[in-house]
Amino acid sequence: MMGILLLSFLQLADLDANRDQNIDFWINQLDSESVDLNINAIEKMAELQDPKALSYLASALRTAGPEVRFHIAKALSRFPTEAVATQILGPAQAAEKDVYIKAEINRSIRFIRDYLNKQQEKLRGEP
């Protein structure tokens, strides 16, 4: 009996570990009515840095409530590409009315640009 319980526990633990790496699971959490679940999903997507999440984050950045938009703006800095800065954050910056979210979008854009500049310097062999 103890062996069966242990095996069941290990199977559940394995499922939980797989869920944490499954970007589709976290994308689906963006549809939740719970702001806390939305934010948790956003943070996990930023951690995983799966490009598949970008279109969903971009869409939610346009349509979600202010707290969720703030966390998306912050999370997008974890995807440091010029496309994220210009095609997702740039238009969001222009459309955003909330000063706190706009400031976070600006911070993310600056972070991405600084990161990309440092990468270019490394490629050129500059200190």
- Structural domain including 33 reads 23-124
Q: What stretch of H or E contains 13?
A: helix 2-21
pLDDT surpassing 70 at residue 17:
no
Domain count, the chain: 1
- 14 lies in some domain: no
- 7 lies in some domain: no
Chain segment 59-114, per-residue pLDDT in tens: 999 999 999 999 999 999 999 999 999 999 999 999 999 999 999 999 999 999 99
Residue 124: predicted pLDDT: 86
Of 32, 76, 70, nearest to 51 (Cα)? 76
Residue 12: predicted pLDDT: 43
Percentage of the chain lying above the pLDDT 70 cut: 82
pLDDT surpassing 50 at residue 28:
yes
Cα of first residue to Cα of last residue in the chain, in angstroms, is 62
Q: What share of the chain is helix, strand, coil (3-state, %, to 5)?
A: 85, 0, 15
Structure tokens at 45: 């997507």
Residue 18: predicted pLDDT: 57
Residue 125: predicted pLDDT: 84
- 1 lies in some domain: no
Query: Domain with 67 in it: what CATH number?
Result: 1.25.10.10
Spatial separation of the C-alpha atoms in residues 43 and 75, rounded to whole Å: 6
Residue 11: predicted pLDDT: 46
Spatial separation of the C-alpha atoms in residues 116 and 113, rounded to whole Å: 5
Average pLDDT over residues 25-40: 94
Average pLDDT over residues 23-33: 92
CA 100 to chain centre: 18
Of 90, 85, 81, nearest to 62 (Cα)? 90
- 67 lies in some domain: yes
- 10 lies in some domain: no
Residue 127: predicted pLDDT: 65
